[in-house]
Structure 1
Amino acid sequence: MARMPAAPAYRPEPRFFDLGADYGDAVEAAAFPENRLRFRNDRAAATVGLETLTDAEWVAYFGRFEPLPGQPGPVAMRYHGHQFRTYNPDLGDGRGFLAAQVRADDGRLLDLGTKGSGTTPWSRGGDGRLTLKGGVREVLAAEMLEALGVPTSRAFSLIETGEELQRGDEPSPTRSAVLVRLSYSHVRFGTFQRAAYIGRPDMIEALVEHARSLYHRDVTAGDTPGFLRAVVEASARLAARWVAAGFVHGVLNTDNLNVTGESFDYGPWRFLPHYEPGFTAAYFDQFGLYAFARQPEAVFWALTQLGGALKTVADAEPLTDALNGFGPAYIRELRTAFAARLGVVSLGEAADQRLLDTTLALLRQGGEALRWEPLFHDWFGGFASSARALGGPRGKLYQGEAFDAFRLALFEHEPDRPERLEHPVFAAAGPEEMLIDEVEAIWAAIDDGDDWRPFHDKVARVRRAGEAWRLSGG
């Protein structure tokens, strides 16, 4: 058993476990043949008092899953969910578990959850494992989203486990890993759906109070519509930030959306190369249900399923009123998100709407020639970046009626902290992107020659970009 050195900042508080056995199952992690530490997020660990762990201690806690001090041991959470709008009552943590809960340095409660840690009662015949490629991709997605200011789980640890996995959708055998993510909650919409499905309003009431008291403390105890309203607001903010980041989650099932409005569980994700409303991330999303521009619709649909579960313990009318707040909240958050991405001060509804509309119009006109991320790189800071943008490699793309309207809307807005433009990131010809070709190249270096330098270099560059934008965690 590893012994963790004294760390006053480490504050265990396993609150989900207080709910009892109806909500999860005690499990054990798989015994892996190897534990090769590939990534440890010391920046995230410092927020919960775990950055002082040695590598050996880290592997003991996040590879072999010896319980951290003050933690009762892993629990596989129970939940149901709609998968591509088909209800599935046979879900639950099938290859992961909640390993621990801790207080962060900002006072908020955080989960340490796993992916690829072995079989559970909810594995449904699966092997409970994660491919190393899947783990690498999750780290890259979480790092990029954090840098771009999207509310996201953080990839905390990635350990290669030495097993050869068979997968039908990629070359096999392939390498295996176990991932740990740090996030504010793993209480999903589907957690409430399960309680409604099995006819347990008492469990729904307990879940509402649990989530309200921990994550939405401004809501009065017993105010279920108020709780839903808080989740709606948080989810609208998340959807708006995804769109502003040009991000496509890929699988917006109700078991992949949680009560804190925090993005997590990155499978077939993509970032947009250029503006394309119908762009999808998952090859199996044949009808574009979770396409880029349909993500707000998907989130709202999932919220209505949460509302349906809550209807067993609250009146329908105030719940409907709470749901109806999603559209206005989403538009408001989208305006704010686009102003932030362009590094300008929000001016209010009318001016910010003009900026949003003209930015999308310019991206639409630019087609494949004008990629999503370079536009925000070129014009970050608004008019303060005019010479840089027009004199840069994409300067010739900035002309015509759509550009004139964009420039007029942009120039209405003052630069927000223009000193950020002094960061060396903005002296580069192009931005830091996370497009699929580069992600595949990073994986190829690992797969072919066990070369992790491109991976670690990419993480460092993304963090540097986030420092320049100063949007991380915002």
Structure 2
Amino acid sequence: MPIDPQAFPAYRPETTLLDLGDPFFDPVAAADFPRTQLRFRNDRAAAQVGLATLDDDEWTRHFGRFAPLPGTLPGPLALRYHGHQFRNYNPDLGDGRGFTFAQMRDDRGRLMDLGTKGSGQTPWSRAGDGRLTLKGGVREILATEMLEALNVPTSRTLSLIETGEDLQRGDEPSPTRSAVMVRLSHSHVRIGTFQRLAYHRDDDALRRLVGYTLRNLFDEDGNGEGDDPVRLLALVVARTARLAARYMAAGFVHGVLNSDNINVTGESFDYGPWRFAPTWDPGFTAAYFDHQGLYAFGRQPEAIHWDVMQLAVSLRTIAESDPLIAALDGFGPAYQAEVGAAILWRLGVRPRDPDSDRALVQATGRALRTSGAGIDRFFFDVFGGELPASYGPDWDEVRAALGGYAARKDRSHPYWSGTPCSLLIDEVESIWAPIADADDWSRLTAKVAAIRAMGEALA
């Protein structure tokens, strides 16, 4: 039986996306897959939106065959947007292998979207097959679980279903297995969504999107008029500065920080060639095609700031330049404050005062860069504010700066009696290998459990 909103009051469906109207999306149909085999269901995330009560058959029907959930969108909608890709503007973008098919409130009252990856072709597929490799889905599970544990605002992988097709890909052994993924996200409104409307000089729709975003994603009053565009830009600046800071503290490299991949809520999503950096190497890249290192580890704050600049440019058609520039100038100070807070969080200490906190963060960054120490090992060892004696003279500045800091949490969790939970590329490949070779999912299951245990220890 399908979910009944009256029987399960935690499920609170919404249809706010329909308020935007036709210029923002295209109705589409999901692909008819040869089979649907459930491989991963995130009941922890599902419980927050009232969907954990679905049995496996119901789950597969809604998230593999895309039978509509009650009370929400009547069918899938492929969203329209543009974007800069590696700083080159592309007006031919849009959801090419995904769609949004449901909205609901979570247990915090936030508006959430259910979106897909690998659900078939749309008007924006640009000759692509609209599919997702099973390996790509597994990688997305790992990325979202790890980032959530490390306090990075991220979409969550809700479901992964294998679909029984053999896909041809140029960047991995082919044919390869196929899947459809569902993500739970605090909207899919991107900077590129605004860029498209500015490109078409559709000021009325741009104001409508500003008002929609303020009301539904930031809980602010607004209809797109007056100072609404400036207020929205300031909110996006704050959220994206926080995202950039937490990427850095997590040692994470997204790989493709194009403006169509930046959600205005500052929630990371869409994980392709991501990697975690083994050491604090500013030049470390995730994407083999990022030949210039545009989205390298150390350049991510700059890249995200540049993308937010494109939002300001788009809003210029309905707002004055000077207040937009003033709002945009807030990114640097916001990032510095957020990266300090994020590093202190990973160190497991409570903030003291601005000068002491700044000295500790700077000393930590210098020591990590010059020593070549493993990021995950260091933050594991130092959590709570005590640096082990095995860290030699290169770490004396950090050791001195830590003096007087109080732990924000003790090390009583069992996680601290083991070894650091990392997710470097070799381990990602080792998790995938038994799935590819023997359909053995045990390593993935064990890794998700280990990541969640780390998250509990850090939280």
TM-score of Structure 1 vs Structure 2, range by shorter chain: over 0.9
Aligned counterpart, 1:424: 414
Q: Which residue of 2 aligns with 1:463?
A: 452
How far does residue 219 in structure 1 lie from its aligned partner after superposition?
A: 6.0
- Displacement of 1:267 in angstroms is 0.3
Code of the residue aligned with 1:465 in structure 2: it is M
The secondary structure found in structure 2 opposite 1:39 is: strand
**Which residue matches 1:404?**
396
Structure 1 letter corresponding to 2:360: L
Q: 1:275, 1:188 → 2: CA distance?
A: 29
Matching residue of 1:77: 79
**How many residues matched?**
453
AA paired with 1:9?
Answer: A
CA contact (8 A) 1:219 1:227 kept: no
Query: Which residue does the alignment assign to 2:379?
Result: 376
Assess if the C-alpha contact under 8 Å between 2:82 and 2:196 holds in 1: yes
Q: Distance in 1 between matches of 2:266 and 2:171?
A: 30
Cα-to-partner distance string for 1:65-98 (whole Å, 9 max, x where unaligned): 0100012111000000000000000000000000
In 2: Cα distance, 1:48 partner to 1:180 partner: 14
- Percent of residue pairs bearing the same amino acid type: 59
Question: Structure 1 length as normaliser, TM-score?
Answer: 0.94
Deviations 1:87-143 (A, max 9, x none): 000000000000100000111110100000000000000000000000000000000
- Superposed, 1:8-407 pairs within 5 Å as 8-71=9-72, 72-218=74-220, 221=223, 222=225, 223-367=228-372, 370-383=373-386, 386=387, 389-390=388-389, 395=390, 398-400=391-393, 402-407=394-399
- Separation in 1, partners of 2:304, 2:321: 20
**Aligned partners of 1:432, 1:310: CA distance in 2, in Å?**
42
Q: Structure 1 134/325 Cα, relative in aligned 2: closer, same or farther at 3 Å?
A: same
The answer (yes or no) to whether the contact 2:134–2:178 under 8 Å persists in 1 is yes
Larger CA deviation: 285-294 vs 14-23: 14-23
Distance 1:200 1:457 in 2: 50
Q: Which runs of 5+ in 2 are unaligned?
A: none
Q: Secondary structure at the match of 2:298?
A: helix
Where 1:111 maps in the other structure, the secondary structure is strand
Shift of 1:417: 2.7
Shift of 1:220: 5.3
Query: How much has 1:365 moved relative to structure 2?
Result: 2.2
**Residue 4 of structure 1 pairs with residue 3 of structure 2:** yes
Structure 1 counterpart SS, 2:450:
helix
* Per-residue CA distance 1:369-388 (angstroms, 9 max, x = gap): x20111000000003xx4xx
State whether residues 351 and 412 of structure 1, in contact with CA within 8 Å, keep that contact through their aligned partners in structure 2: no
CA contact (8 A) 1:219 1:226 kept: no
One-letter code of the match for 1:399? G
Contact map agreement 2:211 2:222 (CA 8 A) in 1: no
In structure 1, stretches of 5+ residues that fail to align are none
Cα shift readout 1:245-268 (whole Å, capped 9, x = no counterpart): 000000000000011000000000
1:436-451 superposed matches below 5 A: 436-451=425-440
Counterparts of 2:102 and 2:220 in 1: how far apart (Å)? 25
Structure 2 length normalisation: TM-score?
0.97
